[in-house]
Structure 1
Amino acid sequence: MPKRQSDIFSFLNVKKVKTDTENEMNENHCGAWKPTEPTFESVEQPLIEEKPSCSSKEEIDNLVLPDCWNKKQAFLFTEQYKWLEIREGKLGCKDCSTVQHLGMRAEKHVHVSKEWIAYLVTPNGSNKITRQASLRKKMREHDVSKAHNKIQDLLKESPSSDSVSNFVPKPNNKNMDATVKVFNTVYSLVKCNRPLSDIEGVIELQEEKGVDIGSCLHTRYSATRIAEHIAKEIKMKVFKNIIEENAKICIIVDETSAISKKSTLVIYLQCAVQSAPSPVMLFVALKELVLTTAECIFSTLLSALNDCGFHNEYLKANLIAFCSDGADTVLGRRSGVGMKLLENFPKIIIWHCLNHRLQLSLDDSISEIERVNHFKMFLDKTYSIYHQSNKNQTELEAIAKDLELEIIKIGRVLGPRWAACSLRVATAVWRSYPELYRNFSHSSSYSGLAKRLANISFLQDLALMIDILEEFSLLSTALQSGSTNIQKAQKLIKRTIRALENLKICAGKYESQIEDMIKSDKFKDIPFNKNNKLNTLPRNMLLDHIIQHMNLRLLLERNNDESVLSYFDLLEPSAWPHEELISPWIAGERKLSHLSEILKYEIDLNDFRDFVDNNVKSNNAPIPVTIQKAKKIVSSIAVSSAEAERGFGLMNIICTRVRSSLKVDHISDFMTINFLGKELADWDATPFVKSWLNCNHRLATDTRVRKKSTKGFYENQLALWNLP
């Protein structure tokens, strides 16, 4: 790409407004215009006498064309319209995509079409002839439109690399400084998770201190638009660097319904960047889902990635893994989003061991064996009792401080289903068991809860659940470690499965304590009995179902082929058969090509042989460059959602009652600034102000805007300050 165009990409940004009003028909304005080009079915001679070059033919051969065109038609139209480009069966304008906005030369109702910028132009019609005519009409209209002609004039007038300065006149330092101060104010509000309505008070305070901050861009509406612009520029800069580096990426998605009536898709990606010592987790976007079907989630995901510059060609070459929870819609083995991604991007790794759903395997397994989760019912009733009044809550605090804190969380954060699968809640009930019984037994209103605690089946179920949840907690903590890669995660899950299988054979740590606890002085006042209405959970059946859930989280094997992890073992000397290993390692080299296909990165054979030779002789030998990069790509495959969970916490901070009217797109912009933006001390607003002006936005010193009058004190309040 020429340097002039790359500079434009770096500094100019598209203004998301109405689409290009390319209404300038060549003939009449009553819809009677017809394309001048004849149809290809009725023409024998080509429209253009000059034949395309061999290089352009080769490029056309590798393109996905619109379904109503053949290669000959693509040759002719790309020669007739030099600005025309084809991507994934859709049309776009390379000139408009380069400049993207008219800047100060924009006129009313004349805007660059975002469809032509983003290569989204498709034919309309139900048959081939109608669709061909539709494309001819769209190309002709765009070719003669005012916006497109202005773009071409700008490119002709700006042959130098400093073309951006030719599009927008340079403001003086005073105007720039005032606008930079407004941008800094908005950025600090977003970084501190403050409502943007606070900008009026903050700017008023700055003006009182004598800071020149202009008279424009002081409203909540302006602050919202500035935040949108900053978020868009940050994404453009960060993701452009990733694409230029050709980094391998792993997509991580999750769903939430906490910020909208509809479900919202949370999208992250993890990538291996050469300058970073470990994989980097990046927030991509929040997208509201029209439907919760696999097709809708899949299309929304691809649309969000395309908006960030990750087009299908890039994903085919660099997408290596997809990670999400175990929901059937997302990771169904037949028609889930994971399978649809696998169809479009073959050989990607599907991983669904997100640790925040491990605990729910317990509640899901209890439901599958068609038994009642009595512990969940107990927590639900306890929560309702101690939230009826402050007096009850004070009593609970006197009984057990830990349990009181966990009960409060049920209403604020968790809910009975999550609380019943929380190790902290279960152990808090275990520690305060005698005190809870004595408190419930003294009131006739709570006699049902006292009888439940006096049932030995309830105590046995609680002990079994704590033993299971402890294993889940150990696994969850290990998965959250930054050094855990996909190979280690697979081993950790298998280790947890073996631990659960051991529970079937012998009692766990807490189950073995039941008899001694009943005989102890603390439990002597509880008349334990066996109530047939509250039967104990079928131990072995429950553990079998949990083990099945854990097996579903293991890495899928493809068509009963050799496990993907066996190829990753080529990069781990500890997994090699050292006793039988002779250099060159022929068996390992046969697998090397398959490993390169999985990682979508070519590993040099000589580097691999050096790697084998060095590790056979010494464990501290230097690692060749291509082997280092391959190991980093493997580590970029996400095995945990610990980082993604931070997004849910940030959403809860942003979506307060004061800001209940925020849209999903606004929340997404604020999260982008929080996660991807620099710290306040390191952030420079000047480049963002320049790109803001390139989009024909106003300066803070714009004289066309009347300054708001400063809020004054009421007379009574002022009188108090004037008292002698």
Structure 2
Amino acid sequence: MEEWLHENWVTFVCDGTTVMLGKKSGVATRLTSKFRKLFVWHCMNHRLELAVSDAVDEVNSVNHFKAFMQKLYSLYSMSNKNELKDAAAEVDSQLLCIGRVLDVRREASSFRTVRAVWTSLEALVQHFKSAYHDETRSTKEKQIYRGLLDRVQSPEFLCDLGLMYDTLHELSILSQELQARPVTLLRADHLLKCTIRVIHSFKESPGQKYSEALEAKDRGMLYRSVALKQNVKLISIHPRQFLQSIVNNLEQRLSFEDEIIKDLGILDQSKWPSNPSIRHGEEQIKRLCKRFNLCKDQALNGMRDLLEEPNSKPKDLKPLINCMKTFPVSTAEYDRNFGLMNNINTDKRAVLLVSNVSNLMMINISGPPTSKFEPQKYTRTWLMSHHTASSIHSRQCRVKTLVESKSVWRIL
């Protein structure tokens, strides 16, 4: 088994915890000491979360926005009753999507929270007003709702919400693309650079939601049916500072600086010169073949065929391309498998053996769709093995003989 791993194991991907990537006794360190050619990769989705977290730490004003969203989460998601139903029943399902924002989690969940608040802004204002004027509430509760109302009605908060909506929307798209099964490192690099350029462009040309917020601020302080009121006490987010911090941390956390990644980039035709020579990328191909125990001459012939006909798919390059596709971009596949295991091994099916759980997971992950399942042959095997409830063979019990009963008394 170990010899097979030496020949075929290409990549090990994990999150950035000390247990996994510790320099002295981390799992990756121990594996690379045993398998010298193993390529270790830090999950890009996890690095994306860390980049956003670093940007939040650098821009202190974002923490005020984060604290307010946490307050909404505590008010509506953690409460035993949902008081927004009376204010706007039609947006109740949207508001229930509010969760934690800008935490160490997938960016898509943070975006869903911001989108829910943006969509339900009118309902929030209406609810805070009714709660503030409710005479049955205590003075403390009424003051809490007054503070929430003053913040939601401010143009500063609306601009912050629009800025976070546009930024988190782009980051959530990137996060979901990185979690896709067929994505490769070259495709991930392309997606990352596109996202960085889009976020950087927001500094000069604001996104859609931020533009709507600025327009509402300049157009009579009115957004939809919400009358905006200036709140000088509110510390708003500086857009250019926040966007530049996001860009800097994305470039720092998700940069492709490893030599292997740069060598794999030779297969990206968009990076070729206008008139590449017939020996273009020869050194990179040789290093890759040496690293992954591939035939150097075969790969070079395939590369030359590709240079002669860029639209072709040389067979000689197929082993190298297949090796490149085995490089996992993130650990999202592992997370999906753990979620699948939890769906299979529920509380009511806790008696399943590990082998049975493994087989069921394999069928769900790699098996054909249900529409292509042919149960006839399995049913015949089941019937021939007398496993049905109506079979008399399955009901036969072994009766203890008199000799076996006497043997017990002899022991006593």
Q: Does 1:633 align with 2:323?
A: yes
Q: Distance in 2 between matches of 1:504 and 1:334?
A: 42
Residue 440 of structure 1: how far off its partner (Å): 0.7
Matched residue type, 1:469:
L
* Letter of the 1:588 counterpart: G
Q: Which residue of 2 aligns with 1:269?
A: none
The answer for unaligned runs of 5 or more in structure 1 is 1-310, 558-562, 690-699, 707-724
Matched residue type, 1:452: R
Equivalent position to 2:117, from 417, 429, 437: 429
1:317 partnered with 2:7: yes
Contact 2:154/2:231 (<8 A) preserved? yes
Residue 535 of structure 1 is matched in structure 2 by: 235
1:299-358 per-position Cα deviation (integer Å, ceiling 9, x unaligned): xxxxxxxxxxxx332222222112233444434577643344333322333333443773
Distance 1:342 1:415, change over 3 A: same
Note if contact 2:56-2:63 (Cα within 8 Å) is conserved in structure 1.
Answer: yes
C-alpha deviation, 1:522, in angstroms: 2.2
Give me the TM-score of the superposition, normalised by structure 1: 0.44
Give SS of 1:510's match.
Answer: helix
Aligned residues: 370
**In structure 1, which of residues 568, 580, 597 is the aligned counterpart of residue 264 of structure 2?**
568
Q: Does 1:598 align with 2:311?
A: no
Q: Secondary structure at the match of 2:85?
A: helix
Which residue in 2 is equivalent to 1:509?
Answer: 208
Query: CA 1:545–1:512 in 2, change beyond 3 Å: closer, same or farther?
Result: same
Out of 430, 442, 461, the residue aligned to residue 130 of structure 2 is 442
- Does the aligned pair in 1 maintain the 2:53–2:102 contact within 8 Å? no
Q: State how far apart, in whole Å, the 2-side matches of 1:556 and 1:339 are.
A: 19
Shift of 1:627: 1.2
The equivalences for 1:457-536 within 5 A come to 457-481=156-180, 483-504=182-203, 507-518=206-217, 519=219, 520=222, 522=224, 524-531=226-233, 534-536=234-236
Distance 2:55 2:62 in 1: 11
In the alignment, the residues of structure 2 paired with residue 479 and residue 550 of structure 1 have an alpha-carbon distance, to the nearest angstrom, of 16
Q: Which amino acid aligns with 1:590?
A: E
Pair 343,654 (structure 1): closer, same or farther in 2 beyond 3 Å: same
Structure 2 counterpart of 1:349, which letter? F
Alignment check: 8 A CA contact 1:437 1:526 kept: no
Judged with a 3 Å threshold, the aligned counterparts in structure 2 of structure 1 residues 553 and 349 are, in CA distance, closer, same or farther, namely: farther
- 1:674 maps onto 2:337 in alignment: no
Letter in 2 for 1:423: F
C-alpha distance in 2 between matches for 1:591 and 1:667: 43
Say if 2:286 is the partner of 1:555: no
Structure 1 residue 594: Cα displacement: 0.7
Shift of 1:621: 4.1
Q: Which runs of 5+ in 2 are unaligned?
A: 133-140, 383-392, 400-412
Per-residue deviation, 1:469: 0.8
Relative to its length, the structure with more helix (as a share) is 2
1:242-288 deviation per Cα after TM superposition (whole angstroms, max 9, x unaligned):
xxxxxxxxxxxxxxxxxxxxxxxxxxxxxxxxxxxxxxxxxxxxxxx
Partners of 2:37 and 2:291 within 8 A in 1:
yes
Measure, in 2, the Cα distance between the counterparts of 1:669 and 1:496.
40
Cα offsets for 1:193-245 (capped at 9, x unmatched)? xxxxxxxxxxxxxxxxxxxxxxxxxxxxxxxxxxxxxxxxxxxxxxxxxxxxx
Distance 1:334 1:512 in 2: 50
d(CA) in 1 for partners of 2:186 and 2:340? 30
Q: What RMSD over aligned residues (CA atoms) do the two structures have, in Å?
A: 4.0
Query: 1:610–1:596: structure 2 CA closer, same or farther, 3 Å change rule?
Result: closer
Q: Is the 8 A contact 2:6 2:35 kept in 1?
A: yes
SS in 2 for 1:515: helix
Name the aligned partner's letter for residue 126 of structure 2. Answer: R
Q: Distance in 1 between matches of 2:177 and 2:300?
A: 30
**Max radius of gyration: which structure?**
1
Q: Report how far residue 597 of structure 1 moved.
A: 2.2
CA contact 1:386–1:396 (8 Å) conserved in 2: no
For residues 200 and 25 of structure 2, what CA distance do their matches in structure 1 show? Answer: 31
Contact 2:111 2:172 in 1 (8 A): yes
Structure 2: distance between partners of 1:554 and 1:404: 36
SS of alignment partner, residue 527 of structure 1: coil
The residue type equivalent to 2:235 in the other structure is N
8 Å contact kept, 1:440–1:449: yes
2:227 is paired with a residue whose SS is coil
Q: 1:376–1:419: 8 Å Cα contact kept in structure 2? A: no
Q: Distance in 2 between matches of 1:659 and 1:373?
A: 44
Residues 435-480 of structure 1: CA deviation (Å, up to 9, x unaligned): 3112112212322321221344433332222222122123234334
Q: Whole-Å Cα distance in 1 between the matches of residues 161 and 23 of structure 2?
A: 34
Which of 403, 414, 422 pairs up with 2:94?
A: 403
Alignment of 1:609 onto 2:301: yes
Can you list the C-alpha shifts for 1:680-703, whole angstroms capped at 9, x where unaligned? 7347669x99xxxxxxxxxx8485
Instruction: Determine helix, strand or coil for the equivalent of 2:183.
Output: coil
- In structure 2, what residue type is equivalent to 1:579? N
Q: Where does 1:27-66 land on structure 2 (aligned, <5 Å)?
A: none
